[in-house]
Amino acid sequence: MDYFTWCVITAGFGMALGVVPTALSQGMAIKSALDGVARNPGASGKILTTMLIGLAMIESLAIYVFVVAMIILFANPFTDIIVGAAVH
């Protein structure tokens, strides 16, 4: 396989490794928040606010993985070196 095929495989594998734990942790956070609201409906405002801030922090991890995958695919700093070596 050539260099660009490995870049695509690496980006896809990285996305899978980065997004699965993020999705699981978001599900656990929502479950815990709903349990808290079910136990104490009066505190739903504070629980909702804290949950949304936590979800934003967790989602930022998935966005970082996406940015790294896009760098691997489109702005890879080693592309010029590999293509230059292949031409010579």
Question: Into how many domains does the chain fold?
Answer: 1
Q: Is residue 2 in some structural domain?
A: no
Can you tell me the distance from the alpha carbon of 34 to that of 47, in angstroms, rounded to the nearest whole number? Answer: 9
Q: Is residue 88 in some structural domain?
A: no
Specify the pTM: 0.72
Q: Is residue 85 in some structural domain?
A: no
Residue range 22-49, pLDDT digits in tens = 999 999 999 999 999 999 999 999 999 9
Is residue 47 a contact partner of residue 37, using CB atoms and an 8 Å limit? yes
* % of the chain at pLDDT higher than 90: 58
Question: Which structural domain range is residue 36 located in?
Answer: 20-76
Which positions ≥6 away from 61 have C-beta within 8 Å? 18, 22
Q: Is residue 63 in some structural domain?
A: yes
Whether the pLDDT of residue 78 is over 80: the answer is no
Q: What is the mean pLDDT of residues 42-70?
A: 92
Whether the pLDDT of residue 76 is over 80: the answer is no
Q: Is residue 71 in some structural domain?
A: yes
3-state helix, strand, coil in the chain (%, to 5): 90, 0, 10
Can you tell me the distance from the alpha carbon of 11 to that of 72, in angstroms, rounded to the nearest whole number? Answer: 6
Q: Can you give the CATH number for the domain in which 65 is found?
A: 1.20.20.10
